[in-house]
Amino acid sequence: MQRISLDLLTPAAAGELAESLPFAAPWPGSEPLAGRPLLAASPLNPLLWAAVVGTAVFVAVLLVWVLTRRS
């Protein structure tokens, strides 16, 4: 079995190609990937935000500490 991938420029071209291939079927297992939202693509997304917020809090606390030591 061979697998090909085509980049079609318009939906009409995709429909025309699909009509001309009556026995074509999607690759097994590829159907759930087509409708997957972008946010679910990365499981590290919440951890990334936690790291960003943690770094911002650390920088803010460090800045407050430095400014209070000068006085």
Q: Tell whether 4 is covered by a domain.
A: no
DSSP 60: H
Q: Tell whether 5 is covered by a domain.
A: no
CA-to-CA dists, residue 11 to 5, 14, 37, 55, angstroms: 15, 5, 20, 45
pLDDT in tens, 22-46: 777 766 766 665 555 555 556 667 8
Q: Tell whether 63 is covered by a domain.
A: yes
Print the domain residue range for 48: 11-70
What's the mean pLDDT in 7-27? 78
pTM of the model: 0.40
Indicate if the pLDDT at residue 55 is higher than 90: yes
Is 30 exposed, middle or buried, given 0-12, 13-18 or 19+ CB atoms closer than 10 A?
A: exposed
